[in-house]
């Protein structure tokens, strides 16, 4: 089981802390049993995973429509859904066993603002039009950027949680970013010592396109689940 929530978690989650604690237990229990989280991670689920993802919430307005690309175990998507209940959160994941875990988490935590959509980002381009696309440990930036832009609206934001080599990764991805028309790229450090290790985030602004090139669609939770079941 995970260690108890650290003092910083109380300040971050406030009244939503019991929900975050239930999610931590799901990660440390079924998440480990199904191979979504490594057994060695159970003792640092809060600092390394939950609070690291919570730091990104300061970059997410409450009324956003957010797609979490390659959501995996729900990091950062489920953490952001807990912290931003007014936002619409779409957890995008291609693997069936991960989709099943995500749906169970959404049900167990009662996250009415969250849906699960099964599919690969490149196949879903144009079907999702999010204000913000998040990703954590999905792919190198030069590949991730194209997938993320395909899920976002014109002029939308991509928030890629990266490690200490983020600046080098941005430099290596520069040609790919230019081909995509992305010129606004910033490496940010978000969070603080009370969250444990602050998160490093690469923030991209997607290029703007003429209106009408990609219709904005909205999916209900039931609609997204039905789409997942048809795949």
Task: Classify residue 177: in a domain, yes or no.
Answer: yes
Task: Classify residue 7: in a domain, yes or no.
Answer: no
Task: Classify residue 16: in a domain, yes or no.
Answer: no
What's the burial of 183, exposed, middle or buried (CB within 10 Å: 0-12/13-18/19+)? exposed
188: which residues sit within 8 A by CB, 6+ positions away?
A: 59, 200, 201, 202, 203
Predicted local distance difference test score (pLDDT) of residue 113: 97
List the chain residues with pLDDT less than 70.
1-3, 192-197, 209-231
In 3-state terms, what secondary structure has residue 104? helix
Question: pTM of the prediction?
Answer: 0.86
Task: Classify residue 11: in a domain, yes or no.
Answer: no
Cβ pair 114, 146 in contact under 8 A: no
CA-to-CA distance for 26 and 20, rounded, in angstroms? 10
Q: What is the CATH number of the domain that holds 203?
A: 3.40.50.150
Task: Classify residue 12: in a domain, yes or no.
Answer: no
Domain that holds residue 210: 44-230
18: which residues sit within 8 A by CB, 6+ positions away?
A: none
For 128-146, the pLDDT digits (tens) are: 999 999 999 899 999 999 9
For the chain, the domain total comes to 1
Predicted local distance difference test score (pLDDT) of residue 80: 98
């Amino acid at each position: 089981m995970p260690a108890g929530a650290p003092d910083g978690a109380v300040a971050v989650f406030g009244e939503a802390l019991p929900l975050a604690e239930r999610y931590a237990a799901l990660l440390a229990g079924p998440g480990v049993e199904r191979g979504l989280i490594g057994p060695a991670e159970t003792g640092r689920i809060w600092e390394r995973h939950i609070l690291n993802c919570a730091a990104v919430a300061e970059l997410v307005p409450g009324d956003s429509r957010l797609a979490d690309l390659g959501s995996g175990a729900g990091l950062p998507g489920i953490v952001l859904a807990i912290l931003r209940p007014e936002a619409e959160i779409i957890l995008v994941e291609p693997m069936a066993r991960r989709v099943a875990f995500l749906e169970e988490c959404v049900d167990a935590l009662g996250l009415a603002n969250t849906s699960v959509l099964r599919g690969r980002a490149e196949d879903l381009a144009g079907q999702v039009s999010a204000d913000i696309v998040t990703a954590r440990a999905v792919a190198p930036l030069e590949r991730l950027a194209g997938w993320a832009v395909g899920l976002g609206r014109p002029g939308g934001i991509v928030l890629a949680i990266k490690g200490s080599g983020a600046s080098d990764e941005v430099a290596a991805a520069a040609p790919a970013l230019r081909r995509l028309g992305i010129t606004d790229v910033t490496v940010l450090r978000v969070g603080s010592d009370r969250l444990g290790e602050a998160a490093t985030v690469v923030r991209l602004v997607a290029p703007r396109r003429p209106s009408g090139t990609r219709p904005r669609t909205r999916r209900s939770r039931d609609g997204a689940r039905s789409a997942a079941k048809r795949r």
